[in-house]
Structure 1
């Protein structure tokens, strides 16, 4: 279904009413029911409405998909296809995604509750990722090692084989692109397991991938649950690599599965509790406050790199928090189909209750609730921006990933204290730093234990920059040409020329 550019909430609502959903798995180039015949519900969190019943794949479906993926890899009609020809197919897929971006954005908005304006931004990111990785394919060279005249030594880069990509629900199609684009570009066969909370856009993508010309068995989609089809893929002896974005607890489990099976590679992008450091030398505190609020309230706080810990130098803390509260007031949740809404609905009832429980714990532990804290009227699962001040590093809201619109504010007196507080976390996915002092910027940036540091911005970067964390935030890198390295292997070839 190709959707023309809608502009208003009424436009989006009309399109939503006319939309149809693909609910079947995509295995070996065909849309099929799960082998068991089982299905699960996917709901619109903004209304409580059941959108569709989706095929619930399990180990039997995983076994079939892996077999087809392995056969496709062995045939070589993708794995051994000339890089320029793989590039052409992936660019065609990007063109199809561009043509259907409004439909794909609408699917993600209906499925997981994010504002449609945000979903459109995600589509731009997903399409940009496909194009970037496609353009990298025929620009990566092998190596000739320095040897004597009697030897030719080559270092070749080859695809791994079968890649299982397990992606989260908060940025469904964008995270999918970050995984499958480099994996496909490198020549692998890919099996995608979307979250059971947001499977619809992935199933539509599978149809577009077929139209783009990806060979049979090269790209397959298995909707279902982590403990069934996800576990089966992770334990399969024929899967060569797991690419995962999600919780740290699940990431640890996947590493155990890899060790218990075939030592498959596991690349993880896991949780975060990202610190956002604001020093008193900042010039435009109103601007910084707006960015600090957006860093946690964007996408309802359901963001792995959310700036959920705001560390403010004490001389400006009181005034700065007031500015954050003003900014937060303008970021209230609304109808996800309204392009003017900054926040939408929490993805499902379980996550909604989890966020509300953390808010209750924050109050019980003695933090000062400055705004928010109470859910809006149902049936939609809406929680407004919530800000706690006076948070300490012993409180759950200051240490644990909430994955909701809850900001924890800390104060600090010195640079050393700020660095120690920022690094006092099991996570290390992202960090922010706001200062006009270039010497301080260079000192603090080097010392922050984080895979990414945003200086005088939050969440900056494009496809040229790798994305990933350290510590228990994971070990992999999405985006940039570095991600291609994760989905390929080096082969050393030593050729004797002496006769």
Structure 2
């Protein structure tokens, strides 16, 4: 293995204030109730900034601002709304280095991922939906589709800026106004996005950002003047939101947890499959709803594939997220690290065999070595529950029918992967997998023109593509 000299990205491209208010009606404002909280760098536990925590009165103000702005914004011709979206997309591209460093500081993900994956996709989503803004009559949702009104959007901490783009871009393109609540542990990129909106001269009130913990999200979801709720996060919280919204007439879309099967057949190109497996579960430290956390490998090639996978895992570099050589960054929070640790300990107690490459963990911050479990059965909790960390459960199968049965034996249905050289097998297996997205001979590939979403306990509704417009049209 090569010894890599450190190649740190400069922190100086980001200028952080000591404290941040809420972004309401085009201006930053302190919280009137609810107080403040601190956001920390998960790689070092250093406090980055103090952030306002929105209480009910603050959420009221944000929703009222969005309601006031809705009439004027929704009345604009689509081509005018498109200009703002194009402007936002260009500013994101211009500030992409600054935003990528900020995202890695606040979230813990490697700079290589935030720079080369997250930020290009964020800009691409705004460009893509800008293109739809004046073509809604041709989107297949009727000749004169109308916006719903005020959208309350709650996003998670794993892809803070990308999830924001998935939510805000289609909402604005279709003429809705937005109140968005970012995750408590990763509020900074949303607050910087508020500054992007000001730079783009977006009319006040069209986008409002309220920061805070779960209570703030609960106020927003339950607010009587919110017409549409969009949530990405855990299945448990999704259920709570569905109960809150039931009977209110609010529109709801949910993108929840997953326990995706990555299926490798005996004719798959092993080296290519190994890269896909590594990308599927260790990308973003496994903090991915659609992560390929269950590897189903055909018995006849299981030994060969596992040897190759272990060799590849031994080359992964864990450490400073701002180092351009880092493959595995920090776990986002102490709470998430505790959950990953607990479930992996249970995996060992239940009899699965645990393996990690030799890996030195830093003294400070939240870290977990990339880990695989072999000898896993479908009864193991590590094969059933979403760990949301860099932990892979390996199961084997003999026939395609067995692979499909094992892949579908989960309450989730967000994504899946199929690795084989036969096109007919790809189509036959993909057709039988109960998952919203099925990748063939690749994994974790996203495109703004392609819809994404799940079945069963992975939620309902689609984001991305033409389908992503529907959630925001009456």
With structure 1 as the length reference, what TM-score do the two structures score? 0.91
**What is the Cα deviation at residue 375 of structure 1?**
8.2
Residue 257 of structure 1 corresponds to which residue in structure 2? 244
- Say which of 87, 105, 115 aligns to 2:110: 115
Q: How does 1:128-147 map to 2 (within 5 A)?
A: 128-141=124-137
1:282-329 C-alpha deviation (Å, 9 max, x unpaired): 1x2122112112210010011111100000000110111111111111
Q: How does 1:387-466 map to 2 (within 5 A)?
A: 387-466=372-451
- Say which of 303, 307, 324 aligns to 2:292: 307
Query: Alpha carbons of 1:144 and 1:167: their partners in 2 closer, same or farther (altered >3 Å)?
Result: closer
Residue 64 of structure 1 corresponds to which residue in structure 2? 61
- Say which of 85, 99, 102 aligns to 2:80: 85
Query: Alpha carbons of 1:9 and 1:22: their partners in 2 closer, same or farther (altered >3 Å)?
Result: farther
- CA–CA separation in structure 2 for the residues paired with 1:11 and 1:371: 26
Residues 347 and 380 in structure 2, CA contact (< 8 A), matched pair in contact too: yes
Q: Secondary structure at the match of 1:418?
A: helix
1:136-155 C-alpha deviation (Å, 9 max, x unpaired): 1112226999xxxxxxxx84
- CA–CA separation in structure 2 for the residues paired with 1:390 and 1:144: 49
Residues 375 and 382 in structure 1, CA contact (< 8 A), matched pair in contact too: no
Indicate yes or no: 2:97 matched with 1:102. yes
Indicate yes or no: 2:204 matched with 1:208. no
Indicate yes or no: 2:339 matched with 1:358. no
Query: Alpha carbons of 1:472 and 1:430: their partners in 2 closer, same or farther (altered >3 Å)?
Result: same
Residues 367 and 390 in structure 1, CA contact (< 8 A), matched pair in contact too: yes
1:318-362 C-alpha deviation (Å, 9 max, x unpaired): 111111111111223211010111110000101011111111111
Q: Secondary structure at the match of 2:297?
A: strand
Indicate yes or no: 2:193 matched with 1:187. no
- CA–CA separation in structure 1 for the residues paired with 2:165 and 2:108: 20
- CA–CA separation in structure 2 for the residues paired with 1:44 and 1:209: 25
Indicate yes or no: 2:109 matched with 1:124. no
- CA–CA separation in structure 2 for the residues paired with 1:37 and 1:270: 27
Indicate yes or no: 2:259 matched with 1:273. yes
With structure 2 as the length reference, what TM-score do the two structures score? 0.95
Residues 332 and 385 in structure 1, CA contact (< 8 A), matched pair in contact too: no
Q: Secondary structure at the match of 2:145?
A: strand
- CA–CA separation in structure 2 for the residues paired with 1:144 and 1:472: 28
Residues 330 and 366 in structure 2, CA contact (< 8 A), matched pair in contact too: yes
- CA–CA separation in structure 2 for the residues paired with 1:329 and 1:345: 18
**What is the Cα deviation at residue 14 of structure 1?**
4.2
- CA–CA separation in structure 2 for the residues paired with 1:427 and 1:144: 29
Indicate yes or no: 2:44 matched with 1:47. yes
- CA–CA separation in structure 1 for the residues paired with 2:67 and 2:86: 24
1:460-499 C-alpha deviation (Å, 9 max, x unpaired): 241111011111101021111211111011xxxxxxxxxx
In structure 1, runs of 5+ residues without a counterpart are 1-7, 146-153, 490-499
Q: Secondary structure at the match of 1:243?
A: strand
Q: How does 1:342-381 map to 2 (within 5 A)?
A: 342-371=327-356, 376-381=361-366
Residues 172 and 198 in structure 1, CA contact (< 8 A), matched pair in contact too: yes
Residues 319 and 362 in structure 2, CA contact (< 8 A), matched pair in contact too: no
Highest CA radius of gyration, 1 or 2? 1
In structure 2, runs of 5+ residues without a counterpart are none
Which range moves more in the overlay, 372-381 or 231-240? 372-381
How many residues of Structure 1 are paired with residues of Structure 2 in the alignment?
Answer: 469
Residues 78 and 135 in structure 2, CA contact (< 8 A), matched pair in contact too: no
Q: How does 1:228-239 map to 2 (within 5 A)?
A: 228-239=215-226
Query: Alpha carbons of 1:419 and 1:224: their partners in 2 closer, same or farther (altered >3 Å)?
Result: same
- CA–CA separation in structure 1 for the residues paired with 2:9 and 2:100: 10
- CA–CA separation in structure 2 for the residues paired with 1:29 and 1:428: 39
